[in-house]
Amino acid sequence: MNLKEKNLRFLFWATLVMSLVCYVLQGYILQRHQTAPMLTCFSILFLSYFFWLKNVHRFDFKDLIILSVVFRLVFIFSVPALSDDFYRFIWDGELWVNGINSFAHTPREIVTRFDIRRLEELFPFIYGKDYHTVYPPVAQLVFRLSAYVSANLLISVLLLRLVIYAFEFCTIWILWRLLKEAKFPVNNLFIYALNPLIILEFSGNLHHEAYVIFFLSAMLLFLYKQNTAGVAITFSGAVMSKLLPLIFLPALSSFLSKRRFFSMCVVIVTLTLTGFFLMGGMEVIAGMTSGLALYFQKFEFNPSLWYLVRAVGNIFTGYNIIAFAGPVMGFISAVIILGISLRKPPHVHSGSDLQKLTDLWAIILTVYLVFSTTVHPWYITPLIMFSVFGNFRFSVLWSGMILFTYSGYQISGYKENALIPAIEYLVVFAFLFFEWKILNRSIA
């Protein structure tokens, strides 16, 4: 072994140990208001991640797979510290166990109408006490399962995490198989498998975008194999995990024949509506509609374009215009996404066409996020999966920068600092523009 190889091996073990320490600190010791040590951990994790990606061809594939599994397992007995959404997950599950439809009432309505000790204990920790739940059937089934097995908070968290592990490990296997079959570099897998944002938000914070990404990656595999039924079923699973994947549906019309696309849409609509109605019929639709309306009209976190719109609105009206402008921006993004989606690239029957689809989806999701008033770190996680196959790598950079939005959390609550997203979006969009120019030049 020469000196260069020895140094590389030393750096591998050094970054491995430092990353393990940082994941342990994030999982069991640090709270999100401890800004300096938290941001230090984020920086170490991403520097290590970039080192592994840069030298991925020099390391053993199996070693990196083991590493990705171990990093996830670090969190197995931890309670999420960066996000308190898991309280709402458990809350929704407890409602089902007690015979209450979680879509029918807001948390505040529940505690005033029902005398259930377990719910009274959870209520102080719930965010959005006056908002209906917006989590679709697949997520609700998982919440219900965790509450049914145990009323103990730690055990419920453990069960939610075990489900996340199952989805995550299946996703990694599917991505590996698709990379291999479509003749992409299999080391691209580690763009996703070792990404700290993916590990922290899924294994650490239990966000169910992990379910969405599993179904979307399975859908890509079925699409590559030209299995229309498999595409429809897995896409339905993605929609029933979170409604967001609906924005990707129109783009599939350009990658399938009209007949196959129509039959697929029929299956997707049938399965999705069946799933929603089995969870409670019209109460589900009414509850989610109410929750989503408030989402577009009330919530603000780490936006890009919205900060500019809000500033202009304040100049002319003297108040925050989100109640009006939020839905308008959502409508504008929908129109742009539809226009982008109706281009006519060739059908997906090769790796290069798979690349075109994931690139298209990456642009579609980016447009959606640009026009959103709320962009939490876990919202960009599908972009990481798309990067495994696509030409764009801006999401890898974004996944490192977006975690710094957690620096706004303090003991008293969240304090907005517009400078952080300003730097984040300037850097990320500049890199996206650079990648776009390079891609267009290579095509020309």
pLDDT: which is higher, 354 or 22: 22
Average pLDDT rounded to a whole number, residues 389-407: 93
**Interatomic CA distance for residues 434 and 430, integer angstroms:** 6
Taking the C-alpha atoms of residue 347 and residue 235, their distance in angstroms, rounded to an integer, is: 18
Task: Report CA-CA distances (Å) from 346 to 2, 168, 417.
Answer: 48, 31, 44
How large is the C-alpha radius of gyration of the chain?
22
Helical pair 137-149 and 209-224, crossing angle rounded to 10 deg:
130
pLDDT score for 442? 59
Partner residues linked to 301 by β-bridges: 374
Q: How many CB atoms lie within 10 A of CB 252?
A: 22
Q: CA-based diameter of the chain, in Å?
A: 72
> Taking 60 as the threshold, does the pLDDT of residue 1 lie above it?
no
Beta-carbon contacts of residue 166 (< 8 Å; ≥ 6 apart): none
CA distance 435 to 430: 9
Rounded Cα–Cα distance for residues 98 and 180 (Å): 46
CA pair distance 38, 72, nearest whole angstrom: 18
Poorest-pLDDT segment among 112-121, 197-206, 424-433:
112-121
Q: What is the pLDDT of residue 408?
A: 83
**If pLDDT is split at 50, 70 and 90, which confidence band does 150 have?**
confident
Find the DSSP H helices in 101-227: 107-113, 117-122, 137-149, 153-181, 189-193, 196-198, 209-224
Nearest Cα to Cα of residue 389 among 355, 418, 356, 342: 355
Long-range CB contacts for residues 115-124, cutoff 8 Å, separation at least 24: 118/94, 118/151, 119/91, 119/94, 119/95, 122/87, 122/90, 122/91, 122/94, 123/91
- Name the DSSP class of 200: I
CA distance 79 to 90: 13
**pLDDT of 397 higher than 70:** yes
Percent of the chain whose predicted confidence (pLDDT) is above 90:
58
Cα-based distances in Å from 240 to 88, 91, 150: 18, 19, 24
Q: Give the tokens for residue 209.
A: 């975008």
Mean pLDDT of 382-403: 94
Report the distance separating Cα 336 and Cα 297, nearest Å.
Answer: 20
Note the pLDDT of residue 132: 84
| DSSP-based three-state secondary structure for 374 | strand
Q: Check: CB of residue 271 under 8 Å from CB of residue 232.
A: yes
pLDDT at 179: 96
pLDDT of the residue at 238: 96
C-alpha distance across the termini of the chain, in Å? 44
Instruction: Give residue-wise pLDDT tens across range 303-352.
Output: 889 888 998 898 888 888 888 888 899 899 999 999 998 875 544 444 55
- State residue 348's pLDDT score: 47
Q: What is the pLDDT of residue 293?
A: 67
Mean pLDDT over 53-76 rounds to 95
pLDDT band at 409 (very low <50, low <70, confident <90, very high): confident
Q: Lowest mean pLDDT: which of 34-48, 252-266, 288-302? A: 288-302
Residue 290 is predicted with a pLDDT of 67
Average pLDDT, the chain: 89
385: amino acid identity, one letter: M
Place of tokens 């491995």: 16
